[in-house]
Amino acid sequence: MISLWWSFTLTTIGVTGLALVYGRPSSTIGPYIGLGVQALWIAYAVATGQWWFLVSAFTYGAANLYGLAKRRKQPKVES
């Protein structure tokens, strides 16, 4: 049962991070949430022996790192 709870919780956190990435493109909080949830997915994969989750966690983590690097290179827009 813990597996189901973890899966729903981690998915909800990940979707929140994505919503913040696309809803607030100038903010870095979304990618940081995305990176944090990938660490939790890694823990989930190890705890449940579902090793293929590691592939997705590292892939999504790399995408979030790329997004952070790209945002840092963009000039700040004043509102």
The answer to the question of residue 45 being in a domain is yes
The answer to the question of residue 79 being in a domain is no
Give the mean pLDDT of 19-23: 79
The answer to whether residue 18 scores a pLDDT higher than 70 is yes
The answer to the question of residue 78 being in a domain is no
Q: What is the dihedral of CA 55, 12, 22, 68, to 10 degrees?
A: -50
The answer to the question of residue 30 being in a domain is yes
* Angle of CA points 20, 68, 45, to nearest 5°: 75
- pLDDT tens track for 26-69: 677 888 888 999 999 999 899 889 899 899 899 989 988 888 88
Range of the structural domain that residue 19 is part of: 2-72
Q: How many structural domains is the chain composed of?
A: 1
| Greater model confidence, 58 or 75 | 58
The answer to the question of residue 52 being in a domain is yes
Residue 62, token pair as written in the block: 């790399």
